[in-house]
Amino acid sequence: MWHMTLTRTVPAPVVKSLLDALGAGDAWETALGSPITDKQIAEATQPLTAADWRSDVDGQSLRWNTQQGDVGVQFDTFAAHNAHSPLHTWTLWAGPDGNNPTWTIRASVYTPAGLLADLAEELAHGTGTRQTRSGQPRRVKHIAGSTPAAPPPPLSTRLRR
């Protein structure tokens, strides 16, 4: 069996990609009982490699990030080789950085590579993942000489007309 958790702030396009993959039926196939292979890791992350994401090794984790560092995927090798561990093997995230994500998806070791590849494709090419909050206030441009629109009349006034 495999499991996945999502934070409530995962963007709708990413959730739609997940639901579409689940609806296709291929996502229900899993290699129950067998360890994850290099081939499965390569399949799951192929869209990231094709999109020229940076990859590196950080201790016990393999990481793929955008050039801007605002979206990433992490594969925890320790968790992958300890199938009964409560640790998540895969983490997909977006936000200021991987340590302070705006949203995350965490998946277990037996999550099908095809499902992860579908999510990676959305991360690599989707527009919904780039909508992270920077913490910077938005600047509003005011045009001199313009007057704001008058507020609508109260409901009771509109009903009497």
Ranking 29-43, 56-70, 72-86, 98-112 by mean pLDDT, the lowest is: 29-43
Does residue 65 surpass a pLDDT of 90? yes
3-state SS assignment for residue 94: strand
Query: Which whole number is the average pLDDT over 38-63?
Result: 94
pTM: 0.74
Residue 79, phi then psi, degrees to nearest 5: -65, -35
Q: What is the pLDDT of the chain when averaged over all its residues?
A: 79
Laid out side by side, the sheet with 61-65 consists of 4-6, 103-107, 90-94, 71-76, 61-65, 54-58
Q: List pLDDT tens digits, range 1-16.
A: 788 999 999 999 999 9
In this prediction, residues 153-161 reach a mean pLDDT of: 48
- 76-98 pLDDT, tens digit each: 999 998 867 778 999 999 998 88
